[in-house]
């Protein structure tokens, strides 16, 4: 009896494993992500300063909050990124005499868009939007806290050498797939999604769960750059 139970149990486990693997392959073939223990939702910079009334407000940025909340509960693994700058950060226009927001200057690591002061340490603007409600998010990755270098990506700072630790965290958790949402599509979402793909993750961006700044065609360029790296642009409905 015991031997038969053991064999039946093994057969059931093997069958379930094959079914799960087939479901994952089917989802990937249809250009949509499987939502399982190997998938992480990365919620990028849904902070007060990037929402209406903030110091660097993304147009209609607050509209992503309800979408993020709705889909967030479907993921076992959820990570938040948080812009977190010291006063006088080198990316602030106020740190450069004679410069104004959205001017571009050269930094040691390349061209840098200058921004209004935003998301400074312990400020109300740096806090997550009050209505963002994904209580089981396990990790917050802060970025841009080094005064001399900006950081759009949740994986790598703008010098493209300094890591945030997110890649190692996801690897240790066994994550192989990333779904990216948040603000702004053409900057922090874009860089985060590109770096996720470069790290070998199957990567998706949910269009309705993002909003853009769109400086001089930056949104179209962002979508093209992401697509070139294999990042898939999907709708909420594609999450199944």
Mean pLDDT of each 10-residue bin along the chain, 240 residues long: 56 45 52 92 98 98 98 97 98 98 96 97 98 97 96 96 96 98 98 98 98 95 98 94
Residues that are catalytic = 45, 143, 188
Residues in the chain: 240
Domain boundaries, the chain: 1-30, 33-239
- Asked if omega into 169 is within 30° of 0 (cis), the reply is no
Closest CA to 114 of 97, 84, 96, 92: 92
From the CA atom positions of the chain, what is the Rg in Å?
20
| Confidence at residue 108, expressed as pLDDT on a 0 to 100 scale | 94
CATH T-level fold of 33-239:
Rossmann fold (3.40.50)
């Amino acid at each position: 009896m015991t031997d038969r139970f053991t064999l039946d149990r093994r057969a059931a486990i093997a069958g379930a494993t094959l079914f799960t693997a087939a479901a994952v392959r089917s989802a990937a073939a249809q250009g949509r992500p499987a939502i399982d223990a190997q998938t992480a939702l990365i919620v990028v910079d849904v902070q007060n300063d990037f929402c209406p009334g903030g110091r660097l407000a993304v147009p209609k940025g607050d509209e992503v909050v309800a979408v993020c909340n709705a889909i967030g509960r479907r993921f076992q693994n959820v990570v938040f990124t948080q812009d977190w700058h010291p006063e006088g950060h080198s990316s602030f226009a106020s740190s450069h005499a004679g410069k104004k927001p959205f001017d571009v200057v050269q930094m040691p690591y390349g061209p840098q868009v200058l921004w209004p002061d935003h998301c400074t340490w312990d400020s109300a603007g740096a806090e997550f939007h009050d209505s963002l409600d994904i209580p089981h998010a396990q990790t917050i990755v802060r970025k841009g806290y080094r005064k001399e270098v900006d950081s759009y990506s949740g994986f790598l700072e703008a010098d493209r050498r300094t890591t945030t630790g997110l890649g190692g965290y996801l690897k240790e958790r066994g994550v192989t797939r990333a779904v990216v949402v948040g603000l702004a599509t053409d900057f922090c979402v874009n860089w985060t999604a590109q770096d996720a793909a470069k790290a070998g993750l199957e990567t998706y961006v949910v269009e309705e769960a993002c909003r853009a700044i769109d400086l001089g065609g930056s949104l179209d360029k962002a979508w093209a750059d992401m697509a070139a790296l294999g990042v898939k642009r999907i709708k909420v409905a594609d999450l199944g």
